[in-house]
Chains A and B, each alone.
Chain A
Amino acid sequence: MSKYTGYNLADIRDLETLLAALAECGYAEGKVEVHATPQLLYDWQGRSTQYLDGTNPDRAEVIIRRRNTGLGASNDIGFQKQQDGSYRAIVSQYDQSLQIKRVPFVDAVKNAYAKLNCDKTVQQVLANTVKLKLRGLIPQHATLVKQETADEIKFSVRY
């Protein structure tokens, strides 16, 4: 029997991990606003932005105001929670060229998010193996081997 499942660790869904990823990118507490209800994003003239659909003001739950970007952004940057629970980045057309350590802003945040999730997943795999044993889904003598290369981390549970 053989089965295959896939997950995307870079898909931004967890607020705490998103905030940690922003902190990794240099946006620690004080530079990031977190709101229970989405708030307006503003451009360099203080007008609300309308980048998502061109008619309605953009709103987001997680906001880096343009003065706090440290990158000379023209407008506020936001992460808006979607109905499926994921967060969508709102970066204006003018700010698409913003980079963190030579990586486009959104990619840099996603990379940091994926790395943090990767570290958590490694811990989760270790804990999961113990749980599988306790639930009797794999035998007690099952062994876990970790192999890491520059590109990937592989765990093999064998019995």
Chain B
Amino acid sequence: MPKIEYTIDKKTGNLTVHTKGIKGKSCTKIHDAVAQDMATLGVQQTESRDTPEMLERETVQQTNRLQLRS
């Protein structure tokens, strides 16, 4: 299930945004939109990284057809 998680640590004042299971470039676009909104508050991004899941290749289902001739 696609998910966007915002976590605000009250003690340190750190905000993290974590997108999970979002296909294609939507993932980056969502982070860009959040960064733009935070910039309006004068808050700059301090960290950005693609998690290992981001680097995984999408699974391609391959169907092999076999023609059986009698």
Chain A residues within CB distance 8 Å of chain B:
1-11, 13-14, 17, 85, 110-111, 113-115, 117-118, 120-122, 124-125, 127-128, 131-132, 135, 137-138, 150-159
A-B interface pairs (CB < 8 A), number? 167
SS class of chain B's interface: helix, strand, loop or mixed? mixed
CA separation between A6 and B16, bound complex, in Å?
4
Residue pair B54, A3 in contact (C-beta under 8 Å): yes
Q: Which of A3, A85, A113 has the most CB of B within 10 A?
A: A3
CA separation between A110 and B6, bound complex, in Å?
21
SS class of chain A's interface: helix, strand, loop or mixed? mixed
B29 adjacent to chain A (CB < 8 Å): yes
Residue pair A3, B5 in contact (C-beta under 8 Å): no
| Smallest beta-carbon distance A106→chain B, Å | 13
